[in-house]
A and B are shown apart, each in its own frame.
Chain A
Amino acid sequence: MEICFDYLFEPRFSDFDSYAIAHHSKYFCWFEEARFYFLRNILKMSNEDISDIRCPLINLSCEFKKLITYGEAYIISSQIIFDMEIAKIKFVYQIYNNDKTVRFANGVTEHVFLSSEGKLLFKMPNKLILRLNDLVK
């Protein structure tokens, strides 16, 4: 199953290095912002619900295509790929300019789910399954 959404963001001055280039590590922070935007604004999860779901990264990558510059807004066009049968979720990100005519980066993160004791879960948390099901419907 797939869910798509867009997240609009504007890099902060502190995201740039002395060459006025967005530091590579910031792309992963923006991807994270997009994920939290998805949980809060699309799945409508409360902070309490979010903190109950432990989903660490098992894979992340980014292809840097064009330089991101200060003073512009960008869109992270995101795709969430999941299967209710497997406790793993994949986010695919594409960073575009504001009118989606230029692509600046491609990224991927994959996540698994842990119990509150830190053990790997074989099934997605029920809270998340319910929300995803509602959204897919």
Chain B
Amino acid sequence: MKNLEQQICEMIVERLNLEDVNVEEIDYEAPLFSAYDEQGIGLGLDSVDSLELVVAIKEQFSITITDEDVSVFKNVTTLANFIRDKQS
């Protein structure tokens, strides 16, 4: 069974049509957004992509992310921890 981090990576790649990204190669600690990505690591997403992810997370995990929770988009691990917290 896939762990939560893997499920999140698959969701991101599918939702944002990241055709060049291999799910298996995503570093869970790497920054999701370009602003965090000064060394060229991470997925290089932008804030508008986060809108799509908010909807995807609601659909897949039935969890609502509010404007106050923006910090959960730091990386895959922070997203996974947020989802675990909400599910528990």
Contacts and interface: CB of A to CB of B under 8 A. Distances in A.
Interface residues of B, number: 13
Q: What is the interface residue range for chain A against chain B?
A: 10 to 19
Interface of A: 58, 83, 85-88, 112, 115, 119-123
Contacts of B48: 58, 88, 112, 120
Question: Which of the listed residues A88, A115, A122 has the most CB atoms from chain B within 10 Å of its own CB?
Answer: A122
Given A83-B55, A122-B54, 13 more contacts: A58-B48, A85-B55, A86-B51, A88-B48, A112-B48, A119-B67, A119-B70, A120-B47, A121-B67, A122-B50, A122-B66, A122-B69, A123-B67
Interface in B36-75: 47-48, 50-52, 54-55, 58, 65-67, 69-70
Contact of A112 (B51, B66, B70): B51
Q: Is the interface of A mostly helix, strand, loop or mixed?
A: loop
Contacts of B54: 86-87, 122
A122 B54 CA distance: 7
A79 B50 CA distance: 25
Interface of B: 47-48, 50-52, 54-55, 58, 65-67, 69-70
